[in-house]
Amino acid sequence: MAEDLEEDFDEGEGLEDLPSSSSKKPPIKKILMIVLPILLLLGAGAGLFFSGVLDGLMGKGDHKAEAPVEAPKGDTPKAIGPAHFYNLPEMLVNLQSNGRKQAFLKILVALELESPLDEPKVQVVLPRIVDSFQVYLRELRVEDLQGAAGMHLLREELLTRVQAAVKPVKVNDVLFREMLVQ
């Protein structure tokens, strides 16, 4: 019997019944040769698009650089010179507090003026500026002055008040020379 089985295998009989692996399986090499380059091209295109390189290559990102800069109509450009500062007198105010302990604020402020010719105009309205600052500062609490956000808010509020007091004069900034909360 063993001899019969050997003869059957030697003649190739029975091999037809076994499924061939190469005829029914899709060719993986062909799929990888087609799909992989397509995925790589799509990935590279997406990377160029989202990084903005594609806009530069197509000339879309340079609209602002190509447009000529026009000066505002009616305004003549002013020569930028050195800044001129006007020092306000020292102010000492007591701050709002909930407890019995009083809190005080000592502040020295300098105003950045656009021109040295504006200094006499500021001196004329100096009592108005000091009054406006005193009224605002007395309403503050110690918590209002803490951190960079508190300092920024204080600077903006003082700038708004000084600009309202010296209306025709242009004040560029309010600078803190000294500030003490006690």
The pLDDT value recorded for residue 102 is: 87
How many structural domains are present in the chain?
2
CATH number of 102's domain: 3.30.479.30
The pLDDT value recorded for residue 76 is: 43
The pLDDT value recorded for residue 90 is: 92
Domain that holds residue 41: 2-58
- Indicate whether 89 and 158 sit together in one domain: yes
pLDDT single digits (tens) 68-84: 555 555 444 444 567 88
- Indicate whether 95 and 52 sit together in one domain: no
Distance of alpha carbon 48 from alpha carbon 40, whole angstroms: 12
The pLDDT value recorded for residue 110 is: 92
Kindly state whether residue 36 falls inside one of the protein's structural domains. yes
pLDDT band at 48 (very low <50, low <70, confident <90, very high): confident
pLDDT single digits (tens) 12-43: 555 555 555 555 667 888 888 888 899 999 99
